[in-house]
Amino acid sequence: MLANKTALVTGSTSGIGLGIAKALARQGANIVLNGFGDSEGPQAEIAAMSVQVAYHGADMSKPAEIEDMMKFAASRFGKVDILVNNAGIQHVARVEDFPVERWDAVIAINLSSAFHATRLALPAMRAANWGRIINVASVHGLVASAEKSAYVAAKHGVVGLTKVTALENATTGVTCNAICPGWVLTPLVQKQVDAKAAALGLSNEDAKKQLLGEKEPSMQFTTPEELGELAVFFCSPAGANVRGVAWNMDGGWVAQ
Ligand code: NAD
């Protein structure tokens, strides 16, 4: 379905981004990966799906590096047809204790990077009259949790950016939507499980159960594979007039 399309997924060396990149590759899209840590393993996994894959290690907190990444993708594949703004970090602390440097980093990586990548991707998408921008927000783009001020502010911002981008392109073939996962067991969340286990003297399994029990009625983690299939739907012909939604996949978290 996505043969001859190119998808750039930020923060795709692990977790949800890698899951989405693999789901799009399975549909035939060429993939530009981004993120820190090991990139060789993820590149090999995608290349095994008989699509082309490239990697750019831009730090998503740095606009000049984002610009360089977008130019790299265009020079390698012609243009970016599908942009998945996924890179994100978390920091947990009460507002009065929140390190200023961490606030700035969360806003830069989780919110401003989506603005920069989007503004740089739009001209070519508009020229082709086809494009898909998918912002990985969170249930925290819709509701709040204590001790996550920067993350909740950034993710609410991402949902707002999604709506504006969708509206500004509503008469074109370019759509923009957000995905709002509940708990997904990635390195980002494992750190929170570890902190809970240490603070309460719990085993890893009991800490996971407690984490889920506080927020997610299904008592199940959402998976990167499920989120990947939602991204595929947004890219499908049936998704052509889905514009500006913030679609939660959260085991009932925000239904409460
Ligand atoms: P993860 O830690 O597994 O992956 C994050 C990715 O972003 C990695 O590839 C990492 O290298 C990359 N990254 C981090 N800082 C970066 C930077 N400055 N520049 C470039 N890349 C950078 O986390 P994840 O859970 O897969 O999170 C992916 C997205 O999903 C994030 O936006 C997160 O907020 C969101 N999300 C996660 C959950 C969850 O439960 N895990 C829930 C809702 C939303």
| 200 and 156 fall within a common domain | no
158: phi > 0 → left, psi -120 to 50 → alpha, else beta; which?
alpha
Q: Residues 77, 151, 183, 253: which is the catalytic one?
A: 151
pLDDT at 165: 99
| Alpha carbon distance 48, 249 (integer Å) | 28
Q: Please state, rounded to an integer, the average pLDDT across all residues of the chain.
A: 98
62 and 127 part of one domain: yes
Q: Which residues line ligand 1 (CB under 6 A)?
A: 11-17, 34-37, 59-61, 86-89, 109-110, 136, 138, 181, 183-184, 186-189
154 and 234 in a single domain? The answer is yes
What does the block give as tokens for 69? 């990444």
Indicate whether 122 and 210 sit together in one domain: no
Is residue 117 domain-shared with residue 83, that is, in the same domain? yes
Query: How many angstroms separate the alpha carbon of residue 191 from the centre of ligand 1?
Result: 12
Domain match, 112 and 39 both = yes
Q: Which of 156, 161, 162 is nearest to 144 (CA)?
A: 156
With respect to residue 91, please indicate whether it lies within any of the assigned structural domains: yes
Residues 236 and 205 in one domain: no
Closest to 85 (Cα-Cα) out of 121, 53, 54, 49 = 121
Residue 1 counted as domain residue = no
Instruction: Answer yes or no: is 89 within a domain.
Output: yes
Dihedral sign for Cα atoms in the order 236, 221, 192, 18: negative
- Which pair of structure tokens corresponds to residue 142? 């819709």
Ligand 1 atom 31: the closest Cα is on which residue?
A: 88
Task: Tell me, yes or no, whether 212 and 240 share the same domain.
Answer: no
Domain interval for residue 46: 6-182+223-251
Residue found under tokens 């998704």: 239
95 part of a folded domain? yes
Cα gap 210→197, rounded to integer Å: 9
Q: Which of 86, 148, 185, 227 to mutate to test the pocket of ligand 1 (most atoms within 8 A of CB)?
A: 86
For residue 39, the Cα-to-chain-centroid distance in whole angstroms is 17
Q: Which two tokens stand for residue 151?
A: 């993350």
pLDDT tens per residue across all 256 residues of the chain: 999 999 999 999 999 999 999 999 999 999 999 999 999 999 999 999 999 999 999 999 999 999 999 999 999 999 999 999 999 999 999 999 999 999 999 999 999 999 999 999 999 999 999 999 999 999 999 999 999 999 999 999 999 999 999 999 999 999 999 999 999 999 989 999 999 999 999 999 999 999 999 999 999 999 999 999 999 999 999 999 999 999 999 999 999 9
User: How many domains are contained in the chain?
Assistant: 2
Q: Are residues 142 and 32 in the same domain?
A: yes
Atom number in ligand 1 closest to CA 90: 34
Same-domain status, 134 and 16: yes
In a domain, 256, yes or no: no
117 and 210 in a single domain? The answer is no
Domain assignment present for residue 142? The answer is yes
Please say if 55 is a catalytic residue: no
For residues 116 and 136, membership in a common domain is answered with yes
Query: Does the residue 102 lie in any domain?
Result: yes
Write the pLDDT tens digit of every residue in 77-94.
999 999 999 999 999 999
CB 137 within 8 A of CB 119: no
Q: What is the CATH number of the domain that holds 45?
A: 3.40.50.720
| Residue 132 β-bridge partners | 82, 175
Q: Is 234 a domain residue?
A: yes
